[in-house]
Amino acid sequence: MKVRELMKLLERQNPDAEVCMVTQPSWPVEYSLAGVVVRADLCDEDVDPTKQERYADGTAANDVVLVEGTWLRYGHRTSWKAVRWS
């Protein structure tokens, strides 16, 4: 998913709603969202976060990574069937 696609999905939501993420389809768990980082911030060397070229492992310096926060509750297995793509 691209940032613009996520922004488009989120712009239709209540801006005061809590953001959480569900993981593990076979045993769903909901987590808060701690925040976001740009992959360049995770590198040991100086990397330009505006670079869009992909590295051999498929990553790029400008990738946005969502960081898992704290465990909230068990989730629902139907979450993956109910995903909104547009």
> Is residue 15 a part of any domain in this protein?
yes
> Is residue 86 a part of any domain in this protein?
no
Q: What number of CA atoms fall less than 13 Å from residue 72's CA on the CB side?
A: 17
* Structural domain count of the chain: 1
Domain of residue 50, residue span: 3-80
pLDDT band per the 50, 70, 90 thresholds, residue 86: low
Q: Which residues pair with 73 in a beta bridge?
A: 30
What's the whole-number mean pLDDT along residues 41-47? 76
How many angstroms from the chain centroid is the CA of residue 28? 16
CA distance 22 to 62: 24
> Is residue 85 a part of any domain in this protein?
no
Q: What is the pLDDT of residues 5-31, one digit of tens each?
A: 999 999 999 999 999 999 999 999 999
